[in-house]
Each structure stands twice: as structure tokens, then as C-alpha cells.
Amino acid sequence: MEKAGLGEVYEKLEAGERLSREDGLNLFKTRDLLALGRLAQKVRVRLHGRRVYYVINRHLNYTNVCENRCRFCAYWRAPGDPEGYVLSPEEAVTRLSQGPPPREIHIVGGLHPELPYHYYLELLSAVHEAFPQAAIKAFTCVEIDHLSRISGKPVEEVLRDLKEAGLSCLPGGGAEIFSERVRRKLFPRKISAERWLEIARTAHHLGIPTNATMLYGHVETLEERVEHLLRLRSLQDETQGFLCFVPLPFLPEKTPLREEIRPTTGFEDLRVMAVSRLLLDNIPHLKAYWVFLGVKLAQLALHFGADDLHGTVVEEKISEASGGREAEALSREEIERLVRTAGFEPVERDAFYRAVAPEGV
């Protein structure tokens, strides 16, 4: 490991010591990707052995109308735009009805300026009633903030209402990069890092687990990436409410930034995966989100610290709008083949990472 310049990190990992901000920066600068991957893999195997988790799930994007107009987003449409849509709760249930019975339903959308608060509760109730076996993972902290504003209720009350309507956990999107500089540049209307973390903290205190994401590969610096990871680590020390971390590469293709920013490389994606595993020593799971990474790179990421290959996914509009998706959905068999051929053991999970017996096989 010495020759890779990662000797000090190796020693710390062996001694069970926490990595510092400086270690994080050094890891983001190393070009020895394979040595970095070996370190991340050591941690991953210690945590999860050869297991790779996946879930039979569905995605639902209930509206693309959004008042935030983030510069990096290709998904939103202005109110009144002919391409804008809103799904009624009944339409949502119909969309979710294709494919095998899901264990997890992932619901996110834009910040629609006119949808009333009761719409969100009715949406969850309808989905919960139609799919009682599935955990509903819905609404980013950005949407929760929006619900708090339109209802005039504090976040805690909103989360309680949603929980009563069927919410199980939050998907963890909208975190982007915890940097005021980047926020002003790319998503000035979106909630601040402090607000995102406060809402995640409130959810955790109410017993609602969440994921956490990081959108990288746009205008952020390496220091800002490390800061993002360390702020998540610090909240996790306090609450233990994060189930999984999901690094998301920025997909510029269909966004207004496509002329200025080039897509990430596979090298960078794997490096972010490995560094995330090493710095986030207290978040149990790390997701290789194939919808953004592509199936083949997501499979490789299993050797760079990732232990979760996400799920079968039917319907996902956000990455599709960004031009990032290469597959509509993966079957259980395809996911298991990806996992096995990479040398791991597939484990079907529920939303809380409990192993479940596969249905219908």
C-alpha cells in the first residue's frame, strides 16, 4: 500500500481509526484506483461479507412541475407548460401496478406550486392501500420543506401526517452538494444544507430512516465533496438514521449545463464510490445506483465498496430526462446474474435491508 501513497490510510483502517478531512482529500486525489478500491473493499467485506443487496421496487415521479428551476435539472417544467404533468392518486396506483409485487416504492417529484397538501396525503394513502406489502420511500427533504411551507405546519407535524398516511422512509435526494457557493450557482431556490440536515435529523428522531445522496461531477471542488461527506458522517454520529449513501454522478446531457460541463468518467465514479465507503464509516450501506451509473459500471462498483445494487426499477423519469438511462428495468434474474458474475452473493432485501425470501421463485 505504501507505493500507492495510501499507507497512512491503510494503517488507520487497520487500527480502526476514523479518517480525517485531509485523508479524504488525499483519497480523492489518488490515481491508484485499484489500491483505493482494495481499501474500500476491505471495509465493505468487513461490514457485509460477500453479500450484495437488491430490492424489487418501483419508482414514481408524480409531477414534473417545479418552482425551483435548478440549473442542473432537465426534469422540471414550469406551471402551465404543455409537457408538465401531475398524476392523480388513481393514476399513480395504475402506473405502479406493472411488474412483480414491489417491496419498496420510491416516490419523488417537483415542487408544484398549486398542489394542495391533502394531495400528498391522498397519494400516499392510495399507494399504501394498493400495495400494503411495500414500504413507501417518499419525498426528499426539499419536498418535505415545501409541504411544511404550503401547509403552514412544522416539519415534525408534516412527517407525522405522512407517516400516518403510509410513509416508511425518505429517499435522501435533494442534498446535492452541501456548499453555499454551489447552491448559489446551480440551485439558488433550493433549501440550504442546514435545512436539509435539519429535516433529515427530524425524520430520524421520529424513527423515519432516510438515505443520503451527493450529486457530484459539476462545479463542486474536492474540498466540497469531502465537506459534504463529513457533514453526513457527523449527523449520522448523532442520529444513526441514515440507512444508505447514494453517490449520484451529474448527467449534463439534456441540461442547460451540457456545453460547460462534461459527464464524469468511469474512473471518477469508481473513485467517488470507494472514497465514500472509506469516509462514511458509520453509514451501513453504499449504493451503486445503476440508473445513473449504467449497469456495467454499477456492477464494477461492487468491487469499490458498494454493497447495494438498488432494485428492479420500473418507471424513472428524472434520469431519463437527463439522458442517463440505458435500461428501463432490470429483472431479478438480471440483477442476480450481475451480482454472481462479479463474485458476490445476491440478497433480496426490504426497504430496511432485512433479507427476504424471494417471492414467486
Secondary structure letter of residue 17 according to DSSP: P
Tell me if 245 contacts ligand SF4 by CB under 6 A.
no
Binding to ligand SF4, residues 270-289 (CB under 6 A): none
Q: Which is nearer to ligand SF4, 190 or 233 (CB)?
A: 190
Contact (Cβ atoms closer than 8 angstroms) between residue 56 and residue 311: yes
Q: Is 68 in the site for ligand SF4 (CB under 6 A)?
A: yes
C-alpha cell at 281: 464509516
Minimum CB separation of residue 115 from ligand SF4 in Å reads: 13
List the one residue from 44, 59, 183, 190 that touches ligand SF4 (CB under 6 A).
190
Kindly report the number of other CB atoms within 10 A of residue 267's CB atom: 10
Q: Which residue's CB is nearer to ligand SF4, number 9 or number 251?
A: 251
By CB under 6 A, tell whether 19 contacts ligand SF4. Answer: no
Does residue 76 interact with ligand SF4 by CB under 6 A? Answer: yes
Write down the least CB distance from residue 216 to ligand SF4, Å. 15
Q: 105 pairs with which residues across the strands?
A: 58, 136
Please tell me the number of Cα atoms within 13 Å of 257 on its side-chain side.
Answer: 19
Q: Which position among 37, 89, 102, 110 is part of the footprint of ligand SF4 (CB under 6 A)?
A: 110
Q: Which stretch binds ligand SF4 (CB under 6 A): 72-80, 94-102, 232-240, 307-315?
A: 72-80
Name the helix (H) or strand (E) containing 228. Answer: helix 222-239
Q: Cβ of residue 265: shortest distance to ligand SF4, in angstroms? A: 23
Please state, in angstroms and rounded to a whole number, the distance separating the CA atoms of residues 273 and 267: 10
Residue 337: closest CA among 280, 290, 281, 299: 299
Site membership for ligand SF4, residue 300 (CB under 6 A): no
Report, in Å, the least distance between residue 37 CB and ligand SF4.
Answer: 30
CA distance 308 to 283: 13
Residues with Cβ within 8 Å of residue 95, at least 6 apart in sequence: 60, 87, 315
Residue 75 Cβ, how far from ligand SF4 at the closest point, in Å?
5
- Contact pick of 13, 66, 150, 278 for ligand SF4 (by CB under 6 A): 66
Report residue 135: phi and psi, to 5°. Answer: -80, 135
Size of the site for ligand SF4 (CB under 6 A): 12
List C-alpha distances in Å: 255 to 186, 265, 290, 323: 11, 18, 20, 9
Residues forming contacts to ligand SF4 in the complex (CB under 6 A) are: 66, 68-70, 73, 75-76, 110-111, 142, 187, 190
